[in-house]
Structure 1
Amino acid sequence: MRRPVRPRSSPRSGRTTTRSGAAPSATWAWKRRSEPPHERRRGRGAASKKEKRSMTAPERPSPKYEPFGWHHWPDDFWMSYQFRRGLGETQEGGGAVSEVFQAATHITAGDFETWYTAWRHIADRNARRGDEALAAGHVRTAMNCWLRAANYYREAEFWLTPDDPRRLDAFTQAERASANAFTRMDPPGEIVEIPYEGGKTLPAYFVRSANGGPRQPVLISVGGLDSYKDELWFMTGRGAVQRGMSVLMVDGPGQGGALRRHGLVTRHDYEVPIGRCIDWLSARPDVDTSRIAVSGSSLGGYYSARAASMDSRLAACISHGAIWDIHERWKARDDNHGLAGHIKWVFGARDMAEATEIARPFTLEGVLEHMKCPYLIIHGGHDVLGVEAVRKVHDYATAHGVKATLKLTSEEETGAEHCQHDNPTLGQELMLDWLADVFGIDQNTLSFFPG
């Protein structure tokens, strides 16, 4: 039976999970939507036109453009949101519009298997094309194909359960594709491991700008609840190197390889992993240590603000989507929430009740007043998380003397979705131009080249 359309303020319940402990390798069971009635086979025998009319199920809502962007499956909020994310990142080299819509034609709303198969197909195709292009000496084409493949692999694995071996395989293929592309840039990008704790490391990509001189300012870029370093190129990294900055795109605790390979769940004191990144950067002769900034997207907006409030070595901070208090936001969510499975994985929790309890110290109250650097808060005016929390972050910061700037992107200018997923180009332009100004970068002196 089809579920009714849910309003934006009440997203669909997408999956349930169970865990026997905090370790990622546990048993997970997720709900799946049954096949829509109008796609099921009818029994034998013909029916009259009148009977056909009476037996025909209501058609699914048509795709449409909303204030927050293209809404492909209006009766499936979270799947449409993830599709919108992949569609938007085509603008930054993370896909091709036709391929993304081609994948959508093979996806049944609410069916995570069709989602995986469709995205995996175009990911493998681009990875293969990249390898073939390199063999033919077509390096630029190879790099383009690999970047698309990396983002498609990320999309493919999104709804898989953490203990599904296909998830780590798709992630590994995404890293391979990213590494193939980044290491062939000029200057070559580096695949690095940031020393962390207990002998474990934080996987990262370090990419220098061709424009910035021998000692460059650096942006440390982290994702949020479900993004990781390979996606950050399309959200912040590309814009940074275009403006004369190096970028360190890192998987912190609860993200990417740190979570998938090392079992590192998230932590409220994110100044610790960010501090390890600053330590690593400070040992490099090609880094201007007086100009190191941090940006965090979505849940990362809390991470970045926390780090910049607690580590005075950071010269600027960006919350790409602001969050005031995680516990307060999640306390009404149960195990049927559309992202409950991922939340439990990232927080190392058995259920949402435990995840919410773990999230108690994830608040900027009593923290944000310690920030001494310029602070940009950029947030979608039609963000799925609403705008109340971002206003609270801004008002609290300014009331405590923080030099904070708030930018709410509107429906009219686009980019009004969470983290500007409907138009990430706009998000990069707003964030990285602001940061270039803070760092005193004269963009008139930079050489501009395609890509």
Structure 2
Amino acid sequence: MSQVPATAAPRPPSYEPFGWHQWHDDFWMSYQFRRGLGETQEGGGAVSEVFQAASKITPNDFESWHREWTHIAERNDRRGDEEIGQRHVRSAMNCWLRAANYFREAEFWLKPDDPRRLATFDRCEHASHKFLGQLTPKAEVVEIPYEAGKSLPAYFIRSANGGERQPVLISVGGLDSFKDELWFMTGRGALQRGMSVLLVDGPGQGGALRRHGLVTRHDYEVPIGKCIDWLERRADVDRTRIAVSGSSLGGYYAARAGAMEPRLAACISHGAIWDIHERWKTRDESHGLASHIKWVFGARSMAEATEIARPFTLDGVLEHMKCPYLIIHGGHDVLGVESVRQVHSYAVRHGVNATLRLTSEEETGAEHCQHDNPTLGQELMIDWLADVFGIDQTRLAFYPG
């Protein structure tokens, strides 16, 4: 009698050079889980809740992903409302911040035309708004005038620690990150160091894409310029100290803006990309993020998205940058390190004041955008920016939390 071969047991979760890898047979889902797990460090979740959700998620099953993240999001959102009713402001804020990030995770794998996508995004924003409304000073939920009567959704948050006229960091996400996640990547650290922040959904991101149908564009100095126009009309902004940061694909956006928008005093690529078309030219519909890429680029196929991406290059652009430029990149980034070295060497060769910081396996934070340790990434970026802006951190007040 022939024996039926035993099915190999799935490889258990493990710690890898790029951080915790939950499901070895589902790379992209594990990557997104690692992202949510890391953001617990910055208030974007609770470790136990995140692993509780993971224990009920089936790899390659996007419905289970949506269900379990939604479950813990709703639990925290509801508890936040209960706590504020009892005047427990800090607990309510903590709950709402976790809920916002859990709703962001819950939304991630839904198809662009799934009605739950916008509904879940709305819930993410609503939880964020409740959190932001309790900050001191109270944050502002704003719309930056853009083009053709449309606007860019944003959060403007002043530091309680920075005086009357403050320097400002304009922060944008990338292919799949948006303003509500940027708190865990740049926003919190900037406020702690005496800077205001403008967390923005640019074209191809967040509410700009989901509500206004604004797909991405290669000349990101245009939307960033609109943000600067808006900031310059405010009396509480130091016009001479406005910087931009962009994470992941936003690393290209920030570099493009830093090179082409002369009003910027500093630029940070949180993950650097030299040429999007070159990177994607061999990608097809089987790519794990194909659906999202097509949505962001307004394309019907990966081939069309790749063609649209032709002008998304720093070649012939980066040499125009006049401000200090930081490139921070994970040493075990899913995108590799060759591209970031190309960006840095080109910048230096053309006289740009560029600094490259590769994070290592030993120190952690070696994943794409330091998703395995976003605290390290935030500290490195914002300390660099504080130094560029001449902020003496020994003169700042330090508050717990």
Name the TM-score, length of structure 2 as normaliser: 0.99
Counterpart residue identity of residue 382, structure 2 = L
Supply the distance in 1 between the matched residues of 2:279 and 2:286 (Cα, whole angstroms).
16
Q: Pairwise CA RMSD of aligned residues?
A: 1.0
Among candidates 72, 82, 89, match of residue 32 of structure 2: 82
The yes-or-no answer on 1:337 pairing with 2:287 is: yes
Alignment partner, residue 257 of structure 1: 207
The question of 1:232 aligning with 2:173 is answered no
2:110 pairs, out of 160, 177, 183, with: 160
**For residues 210-289 of structure 1, what are the structure 2 equivalents within 5 Å?**
210-289=160-239
Q: Distance between the aligned counterparts of 1:167 and 1:133, measured in 2?
A: 28
| Alignment partner, residue 354 of structure 2 | 404
1:183 and 1:399 mapped to 2: Cα distance? 46
Structure 1 residue 147 and structure 2 residue 97: aligned? Answer: yes
Partner of 1:316: 266
Of 374, 381, 384 in structure 2, the residue corresponding to residue 424 of structure 1 is: 374
CA distance in 2, matches of 1:56, 1:87: 33
Unpaired segments of 5 or more residues in structure 1?
A: 1-49
- In the alignment, the residues of structure 2 paired with residue 176 and residue 257 of structure 1 have an alpha-carbon distance, to the nearest angstrom, of 12
Q: Distance in 2 between matches of 1:102 and 1:56?
A: 29
Aligned twin of 1:73: 23
Mapped to 2, the partners of 1:276 and 1:296 lie a distance apart of 16
* Aligned counterparts of 1:58 and 1:311: Cα–Cα separation in 2: 55
Percentage identity across aligned positions?
78
* Alpha-carbon offset, residue 183 of structure 1: 1.4
Task: State how far apart, in whole Å, the 1-side matches of 2:34 and 2:194 are.
Answer: 29
Q: Which amino acid aligns with 2:231?
A: L
The equivalent residue for 1:42 is: none
**Which AA in structure 2 matches 1:388?**
E
Output the amino acid matched with 2:198. L
Aligned to 1:363: 313
Kindly provide the CA deviation profile for residues 317-365 of structure 1, in whole angstroms up to 9, marking residues without a partner as x: 0000000000000000001100111000000000000000000000000
Equivalent residue in structure 1 for 2:256, among 295, 306, 309: 306
CA distance in 1, matches of 2:270, 2:5: 48
Task: Pick the aligned partner of 2:125 from 175, 180, 191.
Answer: 175
Q: Which has the larger radius of gyration?
A: 1
Partner of 1:125: 75
Counterpart position of 2:343: 393
Aligned residues: 401
How far apart are the structure 2 equivalents of 1:177 and 1:450? Answer: 23
Q: Distance in 2 between matches of 1:376 and 1:219?
A: 14
Q: Choose which of 90, 98, 116 in structure 1 pairs with 2:66.
A: 116
TM-score (norm 1): 0.88
Aligned to 1:137: 87
Structure 2 counterpart of 1:173, one-letter code: R
Instruction: Report what 1:12 is aligned to.
Output: none
Structure 1 distance, partners of 2:243, 2:31, is 29
**CA distance in 1: counterparts of 2:94 and 2:319, whole angstroms:** 43
Q: How does 1:10-29 map to 2 (within 5 A)?
A: none
Distance in 2 between the 1:317 and 1:74 partners?
Answer: 36
Q: Counterpart in 2 of 1:63?
A: 13
Question: Following superposition of structure 1 onto structure 2, how do residues 343-358 of structure 1 map, counting pairs within 5 Å?
Answer: 343-358=293-308
- Displacement of 1:56 after TM fit? 3.6
Structure 2 residue runs without a partner (length 5+): none
Give 3-state SS (helix, strand or coil) of 2:262's partner.
coil
Q: Deviations over 1:370-412 (max 9, x none)?
A: 0000000000000000000000000000000000000000000
Mapped to 2, the partners of 1:253 and 1:125 lie a distance apart of 32
Matched, 1:384 2:330: no
What is aligned with 1:6?
none
